[in-house]
Structure 1
Amino acid sequence: MGAGAVLPLLLAAACASVPTAPRPYYPAQDVAAKGETAPVGTAAADAADDPAIWRNAANPAQSLIVGTDKKAGLYVYGLDGKVRDFVAAGALNNVDLREVTLTDGTRRILVGASDRTDRAEPRIALFWLDGTTGKLAGTGTQGFLPAGHAPAEAYGFCMAAARAPGELARAYVVLKDGTVAESRLVEAQGRIVAEHLRDVKFATQSEGCVVDDASGTLFVAEEDAGIWRVPLAPATLTATRFAGVGQPDGLVDDVEGLAVTRDGAGRTLLVASSQGDNAYAVFAADDARLLGRFRIAPGRFGATSDTDGIEVLPGDFGPAFPNGLMVAQDGDNAPAAQNFKLVSWQDVAAALQLP
């Protein structure tokens, strides 16, 4: 064998011998899920991604969960985990919802999702959710972000309550390059359209986002860096660091789904998926203090791992979830396809000694 043939073998052996650093695995309390959804229809793939919760105030046990199969469309589940509806709507990645008031005074549930079907043309897919039947219906439109953003891929998504007269809600699309585009959702000739307003840009790939309507604050997860806080009141969107990857904030990249909830004392909490060590971090939203970490541990419904999207809502959701509901995507639900796990927030609060 000549020297020219030996050199590549030596280089390959040297590369193979370089150890990979173990990922951090920070302490966390164990909490068991109390339910799970049926698996999404796309098997043997990373498909389930992000949930949203609609709380039925009149009959909390009949509340609904909306979840994405990012290869196929949008599911609606009951709290029993059974499928109420499915819409084959393409590659919908992240989802959120708000109850809105139309110009005729009608109250409806508006569901929005980031549409990745065309990776070069970022879009918002919009639906109406019927809280009684659990069925989804199209709004007759898809809101396109302005052409100046193309080519770009719609990735993360979240919504906020209306912030000005004439709006139904605000929508935030996180493009894969770290740009977050804010649009207002309005009625126009019997349809719902998105009108672009402004942007904020992060340095690297970002996805998870959530808006705290009470304080008017947008939180964004930059996957390899941490969480950013963006006040929505100023004319210009400016981000400040909220929490970073590593200690003392207890986040292991990727930082993925974000959710806002309230504790028993009325304090606002920010919950984040610390995907890199299969855990969830809970922060005080006002001062970014880390209040605790937990994992969804093995039990009747299984553990979670590699969680992308999460949602947490306070309130009564019936006997199984009397003081809040958490829904978390499960990246490994083998032997079945991926799904979403349901957790009693009361159990999380007890494990972390929250009010």
Structure 2
Amino acid sequence: MKTSLLTASVAVALLAATATAPAHARPTPDGPVAVTTDNETPALYDDEQGGNASGDDPAIWVHPHDSRRSVVLATAKEGGLRVYDLRSRELQSLPATAAPRADGVAGRYNNVDIAYGMNVRGRTVDLAVVSDRYNDQLRFFTIDPAGSATRQPLTEVTAPELGFLFNPDRDAVGDEHTAYGVSVWQPRPGEAYAVITQEGTTRIATARITSSTNGVGYSDVQHLSMPGSFALPDGTTWTPCEEPGTGPQLEGLGVDQDTSTLYAAQEDVGLWRVPLPLGTGQPRLVDKVTDFGIQDRWNPETEECDPVGPDRGLGGHLLTADAEGVDVYDGPGRTGYVVVSSQGDDTFAVYGLTGRNRAVGSFRIRGVDGADDVNGSDGLAIASRPVGPYTRGLLVSHDEPETGADVDPERDATNFSYVGWGSVADALGLTAVPR
């Protein structure tokens, strides 16, 4: 497997660019608008009884002929993968099995996305692409074309002995600075790349998805280091406060397939726009978190960062750290939006796809008819096509903590909520015409 590191000059250019990157976001007059959900998946519990299942990131597979048979995939970390139908009923639960390597260990599935129209063993299939933190690699699953009409939609087809994405050996993988966020980039039909972030660092990687008689794997891994420190207008340098031994990591990723543009959330920094392939253009900071430029200091007793410097007014208005899940609503023509979960205040920021990615507002998700509000969203997914009853598209978000009458309050519960994109569009005055 070929691995290359893009030149350090790219990162230097990025550092200089952030000094003048504008904070485009402006609050709406009445703050975030509210949309509602009455459709949520069963609670997952992160304890031994619940199989250490902690929800994190969803993906939506849209059936090519009958959208009512579409499914939602979701990672549950050590609890593996879940598959749900459009009524949020669980169809399949897959454990995080050991990776097919001689030194493979039981997995931890962090993020998931879909690659459409891939040739696998002579058949054209759609693939679920999953980041496995405990093995620093990707895992691959074919999606049965019957979708929700079958009881076992996913089948693993990961090739054996795949290389580590970010680490030189198994000992280094044990430090857990491993594969984290993932999104799929498809520049041409039948061709796909995974874009992956590394936990605890500023690195992004791309890997070409390949297929052989042994299964699905990857090759041509390339890395790009994003900035970890930022030049400020007064001539000083700001470094986000992190736990010792880690950097300001990125996780949430979404790709505008029409322009081969990656949108990446750096949790304590903001939202980046990154041209693909990596290194072909200069990344740009679209918007900053509200506390950008505020100096904090790590407190080893509380294991938190304590503010020690003034607010210089350099932050944005819509993203309260952590900036987490990212996806793209892809409308007709060049109509479209980037949605980012603002985990720190339980909201979602929305930006236009064109020009300077102007911020167009933000929203909250309120639960009705027995569903609870969405809080602490780690990940989200958007389908820009009709999906069963969601005729103008579908948004699915992670929710933590999950609460409600049927949830055990003594256990760490998470789940996923479904929201019609049409309700988001109506609330913010956006376009909601599927392609």
The alignment partner of 1:61 has SS state of helix
Partner Cα distance (2:79, 2:255) in 1: 26
CA contact (8 A) 1:41 1:69 kept: no
The alignment partner of 2:185 has SS state of strand
1:159 aligns with 2:235: no
Residue by residue over 1:301-322, the C-alpha shift from the partner in whole angstroms, topping out at 9 and shown as x without a partner, is 1111000000011121123x11
Match of 2:397 in 1: 328
Match of 1:231 in 2: 275
Q: TM-score of the superposition, structure 1-length normalised?
A: 0.85
Match of 2:130 in 1: 113
Match of 1:35 in 2: 39
CA offset at residue 103 of structure 1? 6.6
Match of 1:123 in 2: 137
Partner Cα distance (1:28, 1:54) in 2: 29
The number of residues matched between the two structures is: 326
CA contact (8 A) 2:44 2:53 kept: no
Of 224, 237, 246, the residue aligned with 1:200 is 224
CA contact (8 A) 1:100 1:169 kept: no
Partner Cα distance (2:32, 2:278) in 1: 37
Match of 1:86 in 2: 93
Residue by residue over 1:64-123, the C-alpha shift from the partner in whole angstroms, topping out at 9 and shown as x without a partner, is 0000101210011001111111110131001101112317763211111110124xxx11
Partner Cα distance (1:193, 1:55) in 2: 23
Of 296, 310, 314, the residue aligned with 2:380 is 310
CA offset at residue 243 of structure 1? 1.4
CA offset at residue 27 of structure 1? 1.8
Partner Cα distance (1:234, 1:153) in 2: 19
Of 288, 292, 315, the residue aligned with 2:357 is 288
Partner Cα distance (1:170, 1:84) in 2: 28
Q: Which runs of 4+ in 1 moved over 6 A?
A: none
The alignment partner of 2:377 has SS state of coil
Residue by residue over 1:14-33, the C-alpha shift from the partner in whole angstroms, topping out at 9 and shown as x without a partner, is xxxxxxxxxx9992001111
The 1:83/1:131 distance shift into structure 2, 3 A limit, reads: farther
The alignment partner of 2:401 has SS state of coil
The 1:264/1:343 distance shift into structure 2, 3 A limit, reads: farther
Q: Residue type matched to 2:68 in 1?
A: A
Match of 2:309 in 1: none
Partner Cα distance (1:171, 1:75) in 2: 20
Partner Cα distance (1:163, 1:197) in 2: 18
Match of 2:20 in 1: none
Q: TM-score of the superposition, structure 2-length normalised?
A: 0.70
CA offset at residue 187 of structure 1? 1.5
Q: Residue type matched to 1:216 in 2?
A: S
The 1:238/1:343 distance shift into structure 2, 3 A limit, reads: same
Q: Residue type matched to 2:81 in 1?
A: L
CA offset at residue 271 of structure 1? 0.3
CA offset at residue 353 of structure 1? 1.0
CA offset at residue 241 of structure 1? 1.0
CA offset at residue 140 of structure 1? 3.8
Partner Cα distance (1:149, 1:208) in 2: 24
The 1:234/1:31 distance shift into structure 2, 3 A limit, reads: closer
Partner Cα distance (1:298, 1:110) in 2: 32
Partner Cα distance (1:253, 1:146) in 2: 27
The 1:69/1:298 distance shift into structure 2, 3 A limit, reads: same
Partner Cα distance (2:45, 2:253) in 1: 25
Partner Cα distance (2:379, 2:116) in 1: 21
* CA RMSD between the two structures: 2.5
Residue by residue over 1:160-180, the C-alpha shift from the partner in whole angstroms, topping out at 9 and shown as x without a partner, is 11559xx74101120011211
CA offset at residue 326 of structure 1? 0.3
Of 330, 333, 339, the residue aligned with 2:415 is 339
CA offset at residue 234 of structure 1? 6.6
The alignment partner of 1:102 has SS state of strand
The alignment partner of 1:276 has SS state of helix
The 5 A counterparts of 1:235-314 are 236=280, 238-246=282-290, 248-263=316-331, 266-286=334-354, 287-300=356-369, 301-314=371-384
The 5 A counterparts of 1:31-180 are 31-40=35-44, 42-43=46-47, 47-89=54-96, 90-102=107-119, 106-118=123-135, 122-132=136-146, 133=150, 134-141=152-159, 143-146=162-165, 148=167, 151=172, 152-162=177-187, 168-176=191-199, 177-180=201-204
- Percent identical pairs in the alignment equals 29
Partner Cα distance (1:140, 1:32) in 2: 38
Partner Cα distance (1:258, 1:39) in 2: 23
CA contact (8 A) 1:115 1:123 kept: yes
Residue by residue over 1:168-213, the C-alpha shift from the partner in whole angstroms, topping out at 9 and shown as x without a partner, is 4101120011211111011234421111332111222111111111
Q: Residue type matched to 1:343 in 2?
A: V
Partner Cα distance (1:275, 1:46) in 2: 20
The alignment partner of 1:144 has SS state of coil
* Structure 2: gaps of 5 or more residues: 1-26, 97-106, 229-247, 291-314
